[in-house]
Structure formats: C-alpha cells, structure tokens
Amino acid sequence: MQDPKVVIALDFDVKKEALDFVDRVDPSQCRLKVGKEMFTYFGPEFVRTLVTKKFDVFLDLKFHDIPNTVAKACIAAADLGVWMVNVHASGGEKMMIQARDGLAQFGQNKPHLIAVTVLTSMDQHQLSQIGINSSPMEHVLKLASLTQQAGLDGVVCSAQEAKVLKQTLGKDFMLVTPGIRPQGSDVGDQKRVMTPQDAMRVGVDYMVIGRPITQAQDPVAALNAINASIG
Ligand SMILES: O=c1ccn([C@@H]2O[C@H](COP(=O)(O)O)[C@@H](O)[C@H]2O)c(=O)[nH]1
C-alpha cells in the first residue's frame, strides 16, 4: 500500500503490549498515532522508537494554550521527527499562525500541522452545554475555515462533515477523521461516526481508528480487513 489511510490510535497503557502490536504491523499498512495517555506514560522516547521503526507518527496532543507556548510545543514535536502534530482550532487564529510560523524552520522536514475542530465525541447537546448554539456541522465549518485562513494543512473533524468541508475548502485541505467504526463495532464514547468505506467515499484523507483495531481479538486481522474494505 503506497499511502496508508488508516492511522492507528495506539492508546495502550502497557508499553510492551504497544510494542508487540507495532512489531506485528508494517509502515506500508498503517500510520500510528500517539495520544495523551501514551505520551504521559512513556514520553518522547516512545515516539522516537516508532519514528526509528520508520512509521509515520501523528503526535495527537491537541495543544491549546497561548500562542508562544503552543508554537514552542509544536517545535518540540517536530524535533521528534513526527509526521503530523495538532492544536485546537478554538485556541484562535493568532495561536495557529504562530504554531505554523514556528514550524517553518523545519523546511522539507516540517510535520503536517492540523487543528481539532469539534471533538468526534461531541453532539449538538454537548456543544450547547458549552455555550455553542450552532450545529456540529456549522461549528466545524467555522473552525475549519479559520484554520485554513491561518495557513494550516488541515483539520481533525468527523467524517460526517467531510463532504461539505471538501466542497467548501477544497480537496487539498487535509481531513483527518476519528470516530471511524466498522459495521457492527462498538461506538463507545464516539458520537459522530462513520464506517471506513463511507468515510473514503466522502473524501477523508486519513482515518484514525483505535479500539476497533487494538481491542479486536486479532488486531492485525482487523487492520487487514479494514484495509481490504477500502482498497
Ligand atoms: O475529535 C477527536 C480527536 C481525537 N480523537 C482521538 O482519536 C482516537 C479514536 O480512538 P477510537 O478508539 O477509535 O475511538 C483516540 O485516540 C482519541 O483521543 C477522537 O476520537 N476524536
């Protein structure tokens, strides 16, 4: 596979289990995501290990802070050699611009910089609880437009918003979508979900998939089945 579409959310709490899994997959089959849990347990060394094994690593720490702090955190991520790093779009345009500018020094080796719009675990009701009275679609579009205006490479959104975002922001603006659930798998805490096949149909660039693979009886078989279904 030339450009694997599946980004596996490792989310293991035991390092050996994570590395055993990583040793059973190949960079041609998938990319890997390290999030807050694994980074907090195992730190930058774990990220370096995956990079050394030639995996494209998405460091999903969703930075959200003042512009100077976020820009420096993005630079620290780029120093690890990751393929992709992210911030929260709700941190604002200034923050995103400073993060983008901070990464410019990495030239060709610059990681993709994307911004989280509305978490895929949130629905309309949860948005209204935090004072946002637009629909998830409207709010995602608003934050994605701001992200594009700030010169970032793309956004994290749900696949449910992909068609409208591609139509509005163009095909080159990258869409990275968690909340992917193969038919019949447990939705868990995700609210805005879609199957891998439908997500590909609506134009997502990369699908983040965690538990449906990592908690499967045979995780490698689960990954292979997903790849075959979108092949
Ligand atoms: O909006 C978001 C942003 C990030 N995530 C992360 O993606 C994975 C999804 O894992 P599943 O087990 O497939 O639900 C997880 O690491 C989240 O932190 C997200 O789900 N939604």
Per-residue DSSP letters for 199-231? HHHTT-SEEEE-HHHHTSSSHHHHHHHHHHHH-
Q: Is residue 173 part of a domain?
A: yes
Q: What is the mean pLDDT of residues 220-231?
A: 96
Render pLDDT for 103-118 as a digit per residue (tens, 0 to 9): 999 999 999 999 999 9
The pLDDT value recorded for residue 1 is 67
Does residue 92 lie in a domain region?
A: yes
What is the chain's Cα-based Rg?
Answer: 17
The CB of 6 under 6 Å from ligand 1? The reply is no
Q: Check if the interface score ipTM surpasses 0.95.
A: yes
Whole-structure pTM value: 0.98
Residue 198: inside a domain: yes
- Domain count for the chain, please give it: 1
226 is annotated as contributing to ligand binding? no
12-44 exposure pattern, b = at least 16 Cβ within 10 A, e = fewer: beeeeebbebbeebeeebbbbbbbeebbeebee
Does any domain span residue 160?
Answer: yes
- Give the pLDDT of residue 95: 98
Instruction: Tell whether 1 is covered by a domain.
Output: no
Is there a catalytic annotation at residue 62? yes
Tell me whether residue 117 is in a domain.
yes
Domain CATH number, residue 10? 3.20.20.70
Residue 203 marked in a binding site: no
What is the distance between the alpha carbons of residues 117 and 130, in angstroms, rounded to a whole number?
A: 14
210 lines ligand 1 (CB under 6 A): yes
Average pLDDT, the chain: 98
Q: What range does the domain containing 116 cover?
A: 6-230
| Each residue's pLDDT tens digit, 32-73 | 999 999 999 999 999 999 999 999 999 999 999 999 999 999
Residue 214 has pLDDT above 90, yes or no: yes
